[in-house]
Amino acid sequence: MTSPLISRRNILLGSLGVASAAALSGCGAPADGGTAPARSFGRPTPITPSPGQRGVKKTLTAAPTTLDLAGREVTTWAYNGSVPGPLVRANAGDFLRLTLNNRLPADTTIHWHGLRLRNAADGVPGLTQDPVASGEKFVYEFTAPDPGTYFFHPHVGVQLDRGLYAPMIIDDPREPGAYDAEWIIVLDDWIDGTGTTPDDVLEKLIADGGAADSGGMGGMDHGSMGGMAAAGPWGDAGDVTYPYFLINGKPATDPDHLSAKPGQKVRLRVINAASDTIFAVALGGHRMMITHTDGHTVKPTEVGAFYIGMGERYDVIVTLADGVFPLVARPFGKTSGGQAMALVRTGKGSRPRADVKPAELAGTILIGSTLQPAESAKLPAKNPDTTLDLSLEGSMKPYRWGMNGAVYGQNEPLSVKEGQRLRINVTNATMMTHPLHLHGHTFALPSGLRKDTVLLAPMQATAIDLDADNAGDWMVHCHNIYHAEAGMMIALKYAQ
Ligand SMILES: [Cu+2]
C-alpha cells in the first residue's frame, strides 16, 4: 500500500511544483502579477473567541482503520476510527477550535465544506496553509457564522474518496425546530480497500485515459458503457465503477437502521460525500418536504425524490407512516454496485430487499437548482460591479480536466475586489455533469436560490452572483474529486 501511494504523491507534488515554478517565472501570468514568492504558511496566528462567544472543541485524528462492509473488512483512512467520522456540531456564531491530528502515512488537511469561515481555516494546501505532514497536528480556529448542514473532508489528492469525511451541523439557536427527530444521512460511493485505493484509481484514469479495464482495480464506466450516457438529466455523470454505495458507512445488504414512531416528523439532513456519484434519493412510501439546500432556506417544496450531487446538501421534513421503509439513494448512471439504502422503522413490517426500487424513483425526480429561495435567503438585488467568465473544460481521453483553458496552477486565478458584487458566467463546455463548488462564500443562481455547490449538466451555462465579503484566496472547483485532482480547479483571489 505504501509504495504506490508515495509514487502517486510524488506525481502530484511534482506537477504542482511545475505549476508554482511557472507562476514564479511569470509564465502562468497569475492575476497577482506572478511576483509573489513561493508561499510558506507556517503556523497560523492563533485567534481567540470574543467575550461571551461559546466555544466548541474537538480533536479529529486521521488514521488508517478498517471498515466492515456487510462482513467484508476493508482497510481505509478515517477520522477517529469511524466512517463517517464524528459529528461536529455547534451553534451559529460559536467559536470552533478543531485539532487535526494527522496519523496518516501522507500529508493531509481539513476543508470545512460550505462554511463561510475565515480564509486561514479553509484547509487548502498551497493556498491557505501548508499541508499537515504525517505525525503533525494543525489547529483550525474559526467562527461558524451560518446555520446549516455541512461536512468536512481533506483537500489533498483524492483522500475524500477514502473514509475521510464527517458531517458538520451548525444549529440556529433561534430556530424552533418544528420536528420530533433528526437523522443525518451521509451518502458515499466506496472503492477503498477493495483491492485498490483512490490513488490507484486516479493513476489508472490518467494513464488509461478512461479506457476500460476493471480487473478489480476500479474500472471506468466509459469502457463498459462505451461512453453511453445514462437516461436522465445528467448525461455522462461519473468516471469510476464502485463496488459499494453507502448510507452512514453501511451498504444496502447491512443497512443502517433509523427508528421513530409513526406520525412523527423527522428532519433528514442529507449530505452527498461521494467522490464521483450523483444520487437520486427517495423514502419509499413517503413524500418529502425540502426545506433547505446547502444550508439555505428554500420555499418548502414537496417531492417524491430529488437528485443530490457531490458536495450538495438537502434538508427535508418527512411525516412517517407505520411500518418499515427503504431510504434509497440510487447512483445516477452507474450500472454496477447496486444502490445505497438505510431502513426506516416505525412499526412492524418485512425488511425491504437491498435492491428494492421505491415507486418514488420512477416518478419525477427534483433537480435542486429549480428550487425557489425563501425570501430571507435571497441575495439583495444589485447590479454586478464586475463580471468574469468561467469555462469548465476537459475530456476523458486524455484524462484531463481544467478551467479557463488550463489545469489548476496553470490557469489564471479569478480576481475580485473586496466589497464587489461579482457575477461569474459559468459554462460547462464538456459532455459530463460537474458539481461546481465555491469556498468561503455562497452564490445566488439567477432565480435567487443560494448554493455553494451546483450541478451543471453537459453544455449547461448559468450565471452565479456573489458578494465578495470574505477576503482571502479561495478555491472554485468541480466536486468530482477525480476531476478536481486532474486539474478542474481555479483560485478566486481578492486583489489587494
Ligand atoms: Cu467535474
CA distance 469 to 411: 24
Distance 246 CA to ligand 1 centre (A): 21
141 Cα to the center of ligand 1, angstroms: 30
Q: Please tell me whether residues 317 and 241 are part of one structural domain.
A: yes
CATH no. for residue 398?
2.60.40.420
What cell does 457 get? 449538466
357 and 402 in a single domain? The answer is no
Determine contact, residues 293/374, Cβ cutoff 8 Å.
Answer: no
How would residue 138 be classed by pLDDT, with cut points 50, 70 and 90? very high
pLDDT tier for residue 38 given thresholds of 50, 70 and 90 = low
Do 464 and 394 share a structural domain?
A: yes
Q: How far is the CA of 490 from the centre of ligand 1 (A)?
A: 13
> 200: how many CB neighbours lie within 10 A of its CB?
19
pLDDT for 467 beyond 80: yes
Mean pLDDT of 277-306: 98
Q: Is residue 94 part of a domain?
A: no
Query: Ligand 1 center to residue 455 CA distance, Å?
Result: 9
Can you give the residue range of the structural domain that contains 369? 186-374
The answer on 193 and 253 residing in a single domain is yes
What's the mean pLDDT in 296-320? 98
Residues 6+ apart with CB under 8 A from 428: 392, 434, 456, 457, 458, 459, 460, 461
172 Cα: distance to centroid of ligand 1 (angstroms): 32
Question: What are phi and psi for residue 157, nearest 5 degrees?
Answer: 55, -140
CA of residue 392 to ligand 1 center, whole Å? 8
pLDDT at 133 over 80: yes
Q: What is the mean pLDDT of residues 388-402?
A: 93
Res 178: pLDDT? 84
Q: Is residue 440 located within the same domain as residue 490?
A: yes
Instruction: Say which residue, 20 or 161, is predicted with more confidence.
Output: 161
Q: Distance, CA 65 to ligand 1 centroid (Å)?
A: 29
Average model confidence (pLDDT) across the chain: 89
Which pLDDT belongs to residue 463?
A: 98
Distances in whole angstroms, Cα of residue 323 to Cα of each of 53, 255, 266, 284, 302: 44, 16, 15, 11, 21
Same domain as 370, residue 248: yes
Q: What backbone phi and psi angles, to 5 degrees, belong to 384?
A: -65, 140
Band the pLDDT of 396: cuts 50, 70, 90: confident
Contact 159, 153 (CB under 8 A): yes
The pLDDT value given to residue 398: 86
**Contact between 396 and 449 (Cβ < 8 Å):** no
Q: Taking 80 as the threshold, does the pLDDT of residue 347 lie above it?
A: yes
Count how many domains the chain has. 2
Residue 211: pLDDT band by 50, 70, 90 thresholds?
A: very low
pLDDT of residue 427: 98
Ligand 1 centroid from CA 384, angstroms = 27
- What does the pLDDT average to over 19-26? 34
Distance 89 CA to ligand 1 centre (A): 30
Element (H, E) at 188: strand 181-190
State residue 348's pLDDT score.
Answer: 97
Residues 485, 357 within the same domain: no
pTM of the model: 0.90
Boundary residue ending a domain (374, 406, 430): 374
pLDDT of the residue at 230? 61
Å from CA of 484 to ligand 1 middle? 7
What distance in angstroms lies between residue 206's CA and the mean position of ligand 1's atoms? 14
465 DSSP β-pair partners? 423, 444
Distances (CA, A) of 384 to 331, 421, 443, 448: 37, 5, 13, 14
Distance 11 CA to ligand 1 centre (A): 21
Q: Cα–Cα distance between 211 and 415 in angstroms, integer?
A: 37
Question: What is the predicted pLDDT for the residue at 216?
Answer: 27
Contact between 76 and 50 under an 8 Å Cβ cutoff? The reply is: no
Using CB atoms within 10 Å of the CB of residue 177, give its burial: 0 to 12 exposed, 13 to 18 middle, 19+ buried.
exposed
Residues 389, 327: one domain?
Answer: no
CB atoms within 10 A of CB 74: 19
Task: Kindly report which listed range (3-12, 251-260, 300-309, 360-369) carries the lowest average pLDDT score.
Answer: 3-12
